[in-house]
Copies of this chain bind each other. A is one copy, B any other.
């Protein structure tokens, strides 16, 4: 049987990460057929051809619509800038393809809703690239939370700090424009943190929020100063559906932080602490120890955690970010092969988008926003 055929649109950071994962996933996981790197599309024929050679794809297209139409393509894998996700994913669904789309799923709730509905109608497998939850240590964290090892959840405090826009000299780019990027730090970073919260402790019932743009103007490549249209910092106080308080704080101007997706999760009998910059470590505190013997312990990634053993039989040797993409790719291919659902899917992509929108609304109106999840498809 031939493996799943991938059609990759986009050859930037994420496109390359997907191509690397595609190449190695079947050597890592033996429970799937080796996928085929069927087609890759880029802005024009030449750059697509160059990418096909570099990333070992069978075919190159200068037009993404040709890729969507290609019968060798089973999965359309959307790795383009944010504002193109909607149109491409929709076209792929309409062509009856399975769709994997990088985050954020769309620029607006309306777009995300339409995609989620279309995905449901199409009856295909759909997924969003919120890959941090594939980390074996995060899967372990979920296991610890859901099994009750740390008791009832009392409080979730999450942060995502990066510094890619911290310098006032960082130029004005598409990321600063509403029309192309949607929100700012919220879309880039917040989407991951919201998904992490959903995955570990559930969805918001009500929230208050605040956004701010510290560096109001940035210089365009042509030297002109232009007003930044979206936020540098976003913050939300959340009451989860469970009643538990959650805090989100997100910044793209956090000088010195490179991938600071971090959280504290406090329970009645224990706690967890995590920082993506040390993605192979999960800190666990458990009560009930002898006096003077309690403390946060560092669980170092090993074969007992999630899919780590697929990569390495020895503990402590460390996975990297691209390995998380391999796990994600594996889970998606397995879902396609077995006709199962994939998580996080477009419904989760929509849920994340709705929380992002609620944060923007609450911040704009200085009021609390209530989220109603009863109409959800899932």
Chain A residues near B (Cβ < 8 Å): 13, 16-17, 19-20, 22-24, 26-28, 30, 34, 53-56, 140, 150, 154-155, 157, 159, 161-164, 166-168, 208-210, 212, 214-215, 232-233, 235, 237, 239, 244-245, 247, 249, 251, 253-260, 264, 266-271, 276-280, 284-285, 287, 291-300, 302, 304-305, 311-323, 366-368
Contact = CB atoms under 8 A, between A and B. Distances in A.
B279 A284 contact: no
A155 B251 contact: yes
15 contacts: A13-B313, A157-B251, A162-B316, A208-B366, A209-B237, A212-B239, A251-B266, A259-B314, A277-B280, A284-B295, A295-B298, A295-B300, A296-B298, A297-B298, A318-B320
Contacts of A318: 259, 276-277, 279-280, 318-321
Contact of A312 (B17, B28, B287, B317): B17
Contacts of A278: 278, 280
Nearest to A368: B366
Contacts of A280: 277-278, 318, 320
> How many copies, total?
4
Given A27-B56, A249-B247, A259-B318, A154 B166 contact: yes
Contacts of A212: 239, 245
A331 B322 CA distance: 20
Nearest to A55: B27
A268 B255 contact: yes
A255 B294 CA distance: 11
A255 B287 contact: yes
A43 to B, nearest CB: 18
A161 B271 CA distance: 12
B317 A304 contact: no
Contacts of A150: 255
